[in-house]
A and B are shown apart, each in its own frame.
Chain A
Amino acid sequence: MDIKSDKAMQTTNSFSIHRLLLMFKQSLIINKKRFAIAISAFSGILFITLVWAQASVNFSNWGEHAYVSTFVSVFLSLGISYAAFSFPAFRSKEKSMTYLTLPASTSEKFVFELLSRIVAFIILMPILFWVIANLEGVLVHYYYPELINYQFSYGKSLTSFTKDVDVKQVIFLIIQMVLFGFIAPFTGGSHFSKSPLFKTLLTFSIIVVSYFLFSLFLVKAFDLLQGLSAGNKGMHFRGNREIAIIMFKIGFTLTNLSLLAIAWFSLKEKEA
């Protein structure tokens, strides 16, 4: 075992790649069994879900749209749940004490958590889905030849799914929205010790409902829809589509950056 100290590790209090790698090594040593069990369980459940979904449409009606719908559902539900349990040490006082006194900087702990909870998931989960989906497709096709569209490819699926949409316009927005779906629970995990997913959802629900009610109050109080025809008095954006997309892109980007800043400060100021 290498117990010699790294010079950089001793001198820098801000960020050291060496210490970040040590954190990954530590996590692998401690969680290797848990990771293996989680990946096996996920693969098994996904395999069964796909077989069940294909059987429910008699195999013959299965296609790219169905693959994409399944992928999006699994990707978002699993990703949000996984991100919500970020900073797992904060679930108990004893673990918090060990974690907070571990000689690594706040930045290293934050980046490690961000990489392992969001970035690693975004990279690895689609790969795992692709492997399982294709394996399952080939096996099911062997027993049920009526399953014709059994080869899953992201390129083909995305083309099929977005053929009616101007991808260039919305791709960045979709990425930011998906990131928001992961970053919001990630921030909740850094802040809430108990039931982080539930408390995060509750907090965001309160914020969204309050915002909606406040907007409604402003519209009613100042009669902001005055002069619009009856058909236009819905929640339509008053401008062209490009501006709307740009506004949403900026909104989601700023929200995501703000949430990451909140998570960083939660970690920095955490007490045990």
Chain B
Amino acid sequence: MIQIKDLHFAYPRQQALFNSLTADLRAGSITGLLGKNGAGKTSLLKLLTGLLHPVSGELSVMNHAPRKREVSFLNDVFMVPEEFYFPAISILDYLKAYTPFYPRFDLELLDRILVEFELGKERNLQRLSHGQKKKFLIAFALATRCRLLVLDEPTNGLDIPSKALFRKIIAGYLEEDQLVIISTHQVKDVENLIDKIIILDNGEIIFQHTIEEISQKVCFVSETSNDMKGVIYSEAIPGGFRLMMPNGHAETEVDIELLFNAITHGHKIG
């Protein structure tokens, strides 16, 4: 679905953000895009949606060059940015204004999600809290049935119950031909949701594996000591250590935060 090859990108009068970026993403997954501040996560999402233009290299999204912003591309891509704007109209009016542009828009799905998010259609968008606005935008994004959904820090501003609801809704309403890319700092919010992890560092993709592959290669355990044979990476926690070790036995749940820290400290999972 997404092919990136030797992508080069730089903001004007700044040094290159991406040098020779290469990646391949397929439909039917929820991919977590992780990276430190300034690693280029949002820039990569903008490149994928045609909001930024690469300097050189190949970038193909659903067989389109995003920079052309062709209609057949735009009505199959939806981005939920971290900061967004809504006009001062009701949800109902917003739907009348925007849904006709999305050929696969599913009003029934939207209704179901709005009920779960406890949002009434007659409410004015400007009078909603930031979290409520974000919930509406996520609901709208899912209801577009776009094949590529790009969510930039989707859980920022959501309260604790809404974060759980967000995970449930994303996991529950996706179709096989869709790809969701979630960029986030809040790795705990997307645990048990994402099935692939991409880690960006210094303008490069330094890690790209499915959760299944990670589970097969390493395990995550808590021990009182980190002085054990084969420990790949460890971090102190209250009462002991959290360890990432080669998987010799049963699969454990992937500790994304520990994995992220291990990878960005230069460790490999084998």
Contact = CB atoms under 8 A, between A and B. Distances in A.
Tell me if chain B binds chain A. yes
Interface string A251-271: 000000000000000000101
Given A94-B81, A95-B85, A100 B99 contact: no
Interface stretch (B101-109, B192-200, B240-248, B258-266): B101-109
Q: Chain A's interface: helix, strand, loop or mixed, by majority? A: helix
Interface stretch (A25-33, A158-166, A228-236): A25-33
B40 interface: no
A25 B97 CA distance: 7
B100 A105 contact: no
B160 interface: no
B83 A94 contact: yes
Interface stretch (A1-9, A71-79, A215-223): A1-9
B85 A10 contact: no
A12 interface: yes
A100 B81 contact: no
Contact of B70 (A22, A29, A92, A105): A105
Given A3-B107, A271-B52, A103 B101 contact: yes
B95 A104 contact: no
Q: Report the interface size class on chain B.
A: 35 or more
Contacts of A104: 71, 74, 101
Nearest to B46: A272
A19 interface: yes
B13 interface: no
Contact of A29 (B77, B96, B101, B102): B96
A10 B51 contact: no
Interface in B100-134: 100-105, 107
Contacts of A17: none
A43 B98 CA distance: 31
B95 A10 contact: no
Nearest to B104: A5
A142 B159 CA distance: 65
Q: Report the interface size class on chain A.
A: 20 to 34
A98 B84 contact: yes
A16 B100 CA distance: 13
Interface in A1-57: 1-3, 5, 9-13, 16, 19, 22, 25-26, 29-30, 33
Given A269-B53, A272-B46, A30 B75 contact: no
A93 B50 CA distance: 14
A5 B103 contact: yes
Nearest to A4: B103
A198 B177 CA distance: 48
A226 interface: no
Given A3-B105, A92-B85, A13 B70 contact: yes
Contacts of A101: 49-51, 69, 74, 77-79
B189 interface: no
Nearest to B66: A101
A171 B87 CA distance: 42
A123 interface: no
Contacts of B79: 97, 101
A2 B100 contact: yes
A160 B14 CA distance: 60
Contacts of B88: 33
Contact of A30 (B51, B52, B87): B87
A30 B84 contact: no
A124 interface: no
Contacts of A157: none
Nearest to A109: B69
A103 B100 CA distance: 10
B171 interface: no
B101 A22 contact: yes
Interface string A87-111: 0000011110110111111100000
A1 B84 contact: no
Interface of B: 46, 49-53, 69-72, 74-75, 77-79, 81, 83-85, 87-89, 93, 95-105, 107
Interface of A: 1-3, 5, 9-13, 16, 19, 22, 25-26, 29-30, 33, 92-95, 97-98, 100-106, 269, 271-272
